Structures are given as structure tokens and as C-alpha cells.
């Protein structure tokens, strides 16, 4: 029983890791390290400058939602 539980837990942790890479709002440090091709969000055509503008727009939207304008 223990071995089967640990096996299912390994599967869950792998799924969680995959979810992090597909997160719609990746941290800035993460995006700088891995670049736009690893996002899995269709951002492959973006160059670095466009990606920066994209992130700034999302950060300002988030601030508006939170109320930190």
C-alpha cells in the first residue's frame, strides 16, 4: 500500500510541476531564465521586447484588479 501511495504522489508532484510552467502569470525571473518558448502559451513569436511589454500590461492589469493603481 505504501509503495502505491508514494507512486501516486509522484504523479501528482509531476502534474503540479507541469502546471507551474503553463501558469498564465509566470514570475519575471522565471521568464528571463527560460525565455518565451517554454511558456506553452503561444508566445513563441514574441521577441524579448514584446514579451516585456506583454508582462508589463499584465502586471498593470493585476494591480488594477488588486487596487494598487
Considering the entire predicted model, what is its pTM?
0.27
Which pLDDT does position 6 carry in this prediction?
47
Answer for the pair 58, 25: CB distance below 8 angstroms, yes or no. yes
How does residue 24 score in pLDDT terms, banded at 50, 70 and 90? Answer: low
Q: Where are the domains of the chain?
A: 2-66
Average pLDDT taken over every residue of the chain: 60
Which pLDDT does position 62 carry in this prediction?
84
Which grid coordinates belong to 56?
508589463
pLDDT digits (tens, 9 = 90+) for 30-59: 445 555 555 455 555 556 777 788 888 888
Please indicate whether residue 10 or residue 58 has the higher confidence score (pLDDT). Answer: 58
Instruction: For 41, list phi and psi in degrees, rounded to 5.
Output: -120, 15
Amino acid at each position: 500500500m505504501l509503495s502505491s501511495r508514494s507512486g501516486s504522489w509522484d504523479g501528482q508532484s509531476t502534474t503540479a510541476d507541469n502546471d507551474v510552467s503553463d501558469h498564465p502569470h509566470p514570475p519575471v525571473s522565471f521568464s528571463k531564465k527560460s525565455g518565451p518558448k517554454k511558456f506553452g502559451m503561444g508566445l513563441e513569436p514574441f521577441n524579448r521586447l514584446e514579451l516585456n511589454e506583454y508582462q508589463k500590461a499584465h502586471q498593470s492589469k493585476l494591480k488594477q484588479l488588486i487596487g494598487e493603481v
